[in-house]
Chains A and B, each alone.
Chain A
């Protein structure tokens, strides 16, 4: 059929040009690997070794034991011993320390008095993670009979399913996969058509018998393959370097990815029909990428966001794909158990693709 052969002609041309564009070709492999290495090792919300100073005004046997217990937790790293709470405040302000521990002179008496707190923690609240961690320290027993009291806190036992060792990369990489795919694919296709417009190729193309749909689909086929390749790369690197498990079925993950890749590419095409220059296409991509990172549940838990932000997040394909990857890879869920997210991605791809093809008229005015 003529239509199919025209589509293949466009795809062949696109692959040929892509192969010659060394930088883009390098980015296809480079972006996923570099970002995985960077974020896989760097992002860690399991906070340890906070710089801490102590003002031990009691300096008794008990207070020294308490400080030793603090160090034992590994949450704090005592870098300084000072005389007064004032000196702690000064070090907090200059950013020298994140936590200041004040042990009052009457520490021993306060420990047995339930009315009065025995220790003050001065915490750098300008970083929300630090104040969250400091709160954990409150649970630390400060008693003469430490051993007995410790048991009391075990009424509630936490069992971290799916990631018992609480390793950060296991949480990060399924989400990072979604971000990398959408970033690269939306940008590549966003630029693809605008570039041809800028170079004048489009004026030639729209005078040939090739239709809008043939042109659009022909152009995105190579990028679907690229997306699949990137996905494989991420899975292999994640497994080898970060021991990220693949508990569900790889086929399910690839099906979900196919829908997500289609949605990202369609979004890119839509951008390319709006943008007049490659620079504008880039700007629009960035405008989309920030909410994709911040509102998708990748960084902050989705449930904790205000309602309107959740609605915004629900519109983004990334949000749904992150749910799918975490579900399939970590929770061993089957794709059909996560059907709503899967269907959303398919629906999004169809709507965006149709809108792009409608917007892309084969005329110049």
Chain B
């Protein structure tokens, strides 16, 4: 009996002493998709990933990963998942080729196809020229490609990536995501954590985590359409003055500055957001350009994490 979900978590919680790192998390990750975990540092992304692959035992709750029950049966899962740690964790004093060979041996990759598989990965991940180079001497992008090559060598059904792009430049990030899409097309389910909005936007689905709580989930489009907020964009040469005025309005939930633009979030239960903003600005003698804008993922993020802070305080 195969579930349509690669991961189903029910009420997953993890306590470190008094700190609730993950709080009652429900999660459904469909097979063959790229599922994103978006959240600031310390929001429980890594802890959740570690619980899902059996590195940490949940304080409460459980999960079904590839039809295997967690906690308890993580061992059965090991040959079927690939895991890429946040910090580079391959052997720095071994060459690219030696690292790949070691991983192939550890996963008991069939001897017959081993050499061909390693060559394939070296080419696919653009590491052929570095094959004899010590891993420690490589650039951030190269290390990351090696780590991905090692994580997928045994053709896992599920790939868990813990902030894989935090140490690489934008071009490497683009290439990396191209690789992820290729893997997903081949049927691999990918769970990736990130704190970059642009990366989150590329995921098929994503969950936003804040203080260990899942505050929203869905496709990026769904999330943007259902923020529960009007977004008013204010453009002015002196955004600081406008920001001060708008920040004090009771109707305004948040004001974020982007250069000379301000993104103003106003809850949807107010009918005329443009009027509210323009009235306030003209009272203060500010003549700015204002317009309704579609919500970006960043707006979503601000809107949902704000709610969480209110709950905490």
Q: Which residues of A contact B (CB under 8 A)?
A: 2, 5-6, 8-10, 12-13, 16-17, 20-21, 199-210, 362-365
| A255 vs chain B, min Cβ distance (A) | 32
Q: Which residues of B contact A (CB under 8 A)?
A: 50, 53-57, 74-75, 78-79, 81, 83, 85, 87-94, 98, 102-103, 105-108, 150
* Closest partner residue, chain B, to A209 (CB atom): B78
A99 to B229, CA, bound (A): 97
| A83 vs chain B, min Cβ distance (A) | 71
- Closest 7 A/B residue pairs (Cβ): A9-B105, A204-B89, A200-B89, A207-B83, A200-B87, A2-B108, A209-B78
A207-B55, A207-B83, A363-B54 as given contacts; A13 in contact with B89, CB under 8 Å: no
Q: Is the interface of B mostly helix, strand, loop or mixed?
A: loop
Which of A10, A16, A364 has a CB less than 8 Å from the CB of B98?
A16
| A319 vs chain B, min Cβ distance (A) | 37
- Residues of chain B with a CB closer than 8 A to A364's CB: 50, 55-56
Known: A9-B106, A206-B55. 5 other contacts (CB 8 A): A12-B102, A200-B88, A363-B57, A364-B50, A365-B55
Would you list 21 pairs from A and B whose C-beta atoms are within 8 A, ordered by A residue? A5-B108, A6-B106, A6-B108, A9-B105, A13-B102, A17-B91, A199-B92, A200-B85, A201-B89, A203-B89, A204-B90, A207-B55, A207-B81, A208-B103, A210-B106, A362-B74, A363-B54, A363-B57, A364-B56, A365-B55, A365-B57
A209 to B108, CA, bound (A): 9
- Residues of chain A with a CB closer than 8 A to B87's CB: 200, 203
In contact, A208 and B78 (Cβ under 8 angstroms): yes
* Closest partner residue, chain A, to B147 (CB atom): A204
In contact, A363 and B56 (Cβ under 8 angstroms): yes
Q: Is the interface of A mostly helix, strand, loop or mixed?
A: helix
In contact, A20 and B102 (Cβ under 8 angstroms): no
* Closest partner residue, chain A, to B94 (CB atom): A16
A362 to B78, CA, bound (A): 11
In contact, B91 and A207 (Cβ under 8 angstroms): no
- Residues of chain B with a CB closer than 8 A to A365's CB: 55-57
In contact, B56 and A13 (Cβ under 8 angstroms): no
| A28 vs chain B, min Cβ distance (A) | 17
A206 to B75, CA, bound (A): 10
In contact, B78 and A207 (Cβ under 8 angstroms): yes
* Closest partner residue, chain B, to A363 (CB atom): B55
In contact, A13 and B107 (Cβ under 8 angstroms): no
Which of B55, B91, B93, B102 has a CB less than 8 Å from the CB of A203?
B55
- Residues of chain A with a CB closer than 8 A to B55's CB: 203, 206-207, 363-365
- Residues of chain A with a CB closer than 8 A to B94's CB: 13, 16-17
- Residues of chain B with a CB closer than 8 A to A10's CB: 106
* Closest partner residue, chain A, to B82 (CB atom): A207
- Residues of chain A with a CB closer than 8 A to B81's CB: 207
A12 to B89, CA, bound (A): 18
Which of A8, A203, A206, A209 has a CB less than 8 Å from the CB of B79?
A209
| A362 vs chain B, min Cβ distance (A) | 8
A293 to B228, CA, bound (A): 74
A5 to B101, CA, bound (A): 12
- Residues of chain A with a CB closer than 8 A to B105's CB: 5-6, 8-9, 12
A201 to B79, CA, bound (A): 18
A21 to B134, CA, bound (A): 13
- Residues of chain B with a CB closer than 8 A to A13's CB: 91, 94, 98, 102
Which residue among A20, A21, A365 has the maximum number of chain B CB atoms within 10 Å of its CB?
Answer: A365
